[in-house]
Chain A
Amino acid sequence: MSDNRALQRVNVLVNHILQSTPPSSNLSLTREICLQYSPPELNESCVFDVKEMRKLLDGHNVVDRDWIYGLMTQSNLFNRKERGGKIFVSPDYNQTMEQQREITMKRIWYLLENGVFKGWLTESGPDAELRKLALLEVCGIYDHSVSIKVGVHFFLWGNAVKFFGTKRHHEKWLKNTEDYVVKGCFAMTELGHGSNVRGIETVTTYDPTSEEFVITTPCESAQKYWIGGAANHATHTIVFSQLHINGTNQGVHAFIAQIRDQDGNICPNIRIADCGHKIGLNGVDNGRIWFDNLRIPRENLLNAVADVSSDGKYVSAIKDPDQRFGAFMAPLTSGRVTIASSAIYSAKVGLATAIRYSLSRRAFSVTANGPEVLLLDYPSHQRRLLPLLAKTYAMSFAANELKMIYVKRTPETNKAIHVVSSGFKAVLTWHNMRTLQECREAVGGQGIKTENLVGQLKGEFDVQTTFEGDNNVLMQQVSKALFAEYVSCKKRNKPFKGLGLEHMNTSRPVLPTQLTSSTLRCSQFQTNVFCLRERDLLERFTSEVAQLQGRGESREISFLQSHQLAEDLGKAFTEKALLQTILDAEAKLPAGSVKDVLGLVRSMYALISLEEDPSLLRYGYLSRENVGDVRREVSKLCGELRPHALALVTSFGIPDSFLSPIAFNWVEANAWSSV
């Protein structure tokens, strides 16, 4: 009996290799009869030009990206290792926090020496900015810690000096920052205040006798918290603080303070403590700072928006404190832009790994003695990964669009950038976390090994849903901004313009009652559903808020009470904006295979978004039958995207060496010979 079972098992394995009906006798177990890794490249076909698709997805600076990928693979600082005959580079997450911090700094020195940061603060204009964004993205694909540490130094410290400061600050700091002569950090968040910057408790006063500002941490909740770079490396910081002049609080202002000397000793009147070990990002030295009546020269106030004269008079061109605060915060949008795009690259690493694995790993036979089935040939596995792949595509275009409007920003586009970046940052970072979890599960136990990245990335990227604005707070801001826009247009009886709300000026779209496959895949139908949902939710939200206000509630309380609609609306707005970016990308393409495949991807994005949103049924935009049709179409699209899966993840353009061993020859990588 047991002999029979053993023989049957051998048969299964042999079938598996030969993929045909085997002779059933005279079998001997030799070395060849064993699972073989079959590279998906040899079995999968590719009907479109992967290089073209990669250009579309990366959007800009492809050659610069390849250059810095190469800089990393060719240096021993990036933890090169060979697995299964291939070279991989990724951090050793088994290092202690201290080791991770030191190696991260060394990696940054190496990139600096090789000219990666050249022009990052001293050059301006869209081309320079896009190049910088591309290089930062690649840093983040290697290791989130590298990109965060670089990002804090250039985008927070550096941009604060550049945008909040004036000529005297630029001359003194920008070139030195670019060369890392000074190492900057950015002390905004406090223990007691994060997203609510206006509530921070640090206080700065002015002493006209010595022409100095005096910065104080008045209580424990005012300690600066999570300050990246502060624990070990930073020499200087931007300090956000309330500015008290002659007993009047002029609101939040930014100052430059030195916190360490060139030898790394902490300066007098500064206390710094470590934030300690974290669930990820341990290459970043987050610290806490207390200011004990620290005195800094008057010139260290970043005075682009407001200044204090030597005799202690407060002067500002912007009288309204709300507007002044807005002017202060406007340049910080760059953080949300870079977070959104880096989240998508992280999702790409997860998906490229999980999909490649699912094209080489088999499990269970569906027929007796039949070969085991490739994971991605299970419809359920397709359903788990391919809709996430389609969303990642749509969001990739969205991140590119966000970067474009950011680098071409004008004072007029500030509001749109704020709204769009808030929505995209929240939705894209949530998508990344969800994708990484699905990918981790999809590669099974292999996802647990930090070497295989997918599991580890969850910890490394989790903070993205919180920093630079908590996602939930950001989504509420989206709804509030839409509310304001709606009220303002209705009050002045003016048409909607901007934020993609122009569709509100036309009549309400009518959806067909019967949804055929071709209707569901039609871009006009998809646009109509997304517009209808946004429009209706915006009307519901504004009327609910108005109702509450009519009952005597304040506007703020009314918003809080309407949080469920606010949430639905923020999501509807963002998903529609995402759909628009992939439609725009598709429309620019000449007829051909790239456009065709992108059309499938776009339909998958649109339909999975509908399938997952209960508000369509809740508010009756679609009937129960319609929703069933959508669900069936998603399943059909899974089958149609399956043959393109490998080419679609190859088009991410992430080099093999930045993925992980399970994405390639995982049998060889785990062979005894490589122990």
Chain B
Amino acid sequence: MAVEMASHSQVLVEEKSGVRILTLNRPKQLNALSFQMISRLLQLCLAYEEDPSVKLVILKGLGRAFCAGGDVAAVVRDIKQGNWRLGANYFSDEYILNYVMATYSKPQVSILNGIVMGGGAGVSVHGRFRIATENTVFAMPETALGLFPDIGASYFLSRLPGFFGEYVGLTGARLDGAEMLACGLATHFVPSKRLTALEADLCRVGSSDPTFASTILDAYTQKPRLKQQSAYRRLDVIDKCFSRRTVEEIISALEREATQEADGWISATILSLKKASPASLKISLRSIREGRLQGVGQCLIREYRMVCHVIKGEISKDFVEGCRAILVDKDKNPKWEPRRLEDMKDSMVEKYFTRVEEEGEWEDLKLPARKNLPAIAISKL
């Protein structure tokens, strides 16, 4: 049945009656999303939406990752060559894909059997069903890279229980499948050995009414045990500290907690905040806070403004520096600028949220018109 299985293709497509199985196929790069993959995914999603024979879309990854994120290495190459606008085009297409998925009229099932980070979350979490397994490792590591949780993360992180979203988005903490399910990032948990059977069952779905897929998924899902030292069991501390008004106050609240009892988890949390880019932390916090009050489209428009400022590098060049230290030189010793939180002034933060003043025709992200939206998509607008 496969129409397109060429091994060089970065997105493999299988057609099984009313179901389309899309497989991210760049295993050596942990399926990091290339420009080509994003364009292809967008093209396929839009086509399937128009095609009445398609009832359900499954998205998965080849190899040990679902998708480790966007192809930031390529974007940094563009920036270094003085072409931040090329990078902006990449993000623009990526966010439009996120928006289409968030407002998709047909159910999308993402099988997260491995690494899900950054852009990988963007092509899965917005969809209707997200299947975690015992192999799932989820993280939004952007603040350590000098970026911020984008791809609509300010929409979905801010809607996690309490202030767990701030915790996940600022610290880059890793979550396993059980934690993803507990906090709502995943909708189901299925042991990996049952995935083949699940997929076969899903391929029998003959309607785009999500209750059909839901019934099948419910039959496979398990309730995994949350590990003893899971951050999700510390929601009280997280709520108490990550609800604070500013990043500085969050850190000092954590430090106060740490003095009350020695605790490895709190120390690790503080350490990850101290290692992250101060500029990233501040814009990320504000982005999540704004996102909590905005629809998914507004979130992506705002994030697009932010990411353009990030790659343009006029306020801070932490993105290029972070990628150098973590991805290229791998010395894990980024030299952030501004160096300290207090040097990242409110007025500098503010700039990330304004339109980009640019000679030439920079424009806000233009979201495609959507129609026939299901109620769940309407509620996200």
Give A residues with C-beta under 8 Å from B: 37, 39, 41-42, 49, 51, 63-64, 66-67, 69-71, 73-75, 84-87, 113-115, 655-657, 664-665, 668
Contact = CB atoms under 8 A, between A and B. Distances in A.
A84 B289 contact: no
Contacts of A665: 375, 378-379
Contacts of A66: 289-290, 292-293
A59 B363 CA distance: 26
A669 to B, nearest CB: 9
A70 B371 CA distance: 30
B245 A115 contact: yes
A51 B369 CA distance: 21
Contacts of A86: 379
In the A-B complex, list the 3 residue pairs whose CB atoms are closest, starting with the nearest: A85-B379, A655-B293, A668-B375
A39 B290 contact: no
Given A41-B297, A67-B245, A69-B293, 17 more contacts: A39-B378, A41-B295, A42-B369, A64-B245, A66-B289, A66-B292, A70-B158, A70-B289, A74-B243, A75-B162, A85-B376, A85-B380, A86-B379, A115-B244, A655-B294, A656-B293, A665-B379
B163 interface: yes
B381 interface: yes
Indicate the member of A71, A74, A656, A664 with the most B CB atoms within 10 Å.
A74
Given A39-B373, A39-B378, A664-B379, A74 B163 contact: yes
Given A63-B286, A70-B289, A655-B293, A114 B244 contact: yes
A655 B293 CA distance: 5
B153 to A, nearest CB: 15
A113 B249 CA distance: 13
Nearest to A64: B245
Contacts of B353: 51
Contacts of A64: 245
A77 B120 CA distance: 34
Contact of B293 (A75, A84, A113, A657): A657
B348 to A, nearest CB: 13
Contacts of A71: 243
A317 B289 CA distance: 51
B335 interface: no
B370 interface: yes
Given A66-B293, A70-B293, A657-B293, A84 B375 contact: yes
Given A66-B293, A114-B243, A39 B376 contact: no
Contact of A42 (B245, B355, B379, B381): B381
Nearest to B302: A51
| B interface majority secondary structure | loop
Interface in B274-296: 286, 289-290, 292-295
B293 A67 contact: no
Interface residues of B, number: 32
Nearest to A70: B292
Contacts of B292: 66, 69-70, 73-74, 655
A420 to B, nearest CB: 30
B162 A74 contact: yes
Contacts of B381: 39, 41-42
Nearest to A650: B298
A359 to B, nearest CB: 13
30 contacts: A37-B378, A39-B373, A39-B378, A41-B381, A42-B370, A51-B353, A63-B346, A66-B289, A69-B293, A70-B158, A70-B292, A74-B161, A74-B163, A74-B292, A84-B375, A84-B378, A84-B379, A85-B375, A85-B376, A86-B379, A113-B240, A114-B243, A655-B293, A655-B294, A656-B293, A656-B295, A657-B293, A665-B375, A665-B379, A668-B375
A114 B250 CA distance: 11
Given A70-B158, A85-B376, A668-B375, A63 B289 contact: yes
Contacts of A51: 353
A87 B292 CA distance: 11
Interface in B160-181: 161-163
Interface string B257-284: 0000000000000000000000000000
A668 B378 contact: yes
A432 to B, nearest CB: 23
B26 to A, nearest CB: 34
Contacts of A42: 369-371, 373, 381
Interface in B347-364: 353, 355
Contacts of B376: 85
A319 B268 CA distance: 65
Contacts of A84: 375, 378-379
A664 B376 CA distance: 12
Contacts of A657: 293
Indicate the member of B158, B249, B375 with the most A CB atoms within 10 Å.
B375
A571 B379 CA distance: 43
A354 B88 CA distance: 39
Nearest to A118: B245
A85 B294 CA distance: 14
B209 to A, nearest CB: 10
Nearest to B292: A70
Indicate the member of A69, A70, A73 with the most B CB atoms within 10 Å.
A70
B253 to A, nearest CB: 9
Nearest to B372: A36
Nearest to A71: B243
B283 to A, nearest CB: 12
A85 B128 CA distance: 13
Contacts of B295: 41, 656
Contacts of B375: 37, 84-85, 665, 668
A63 B244 CA distance: 13
Contacts of B286: 63
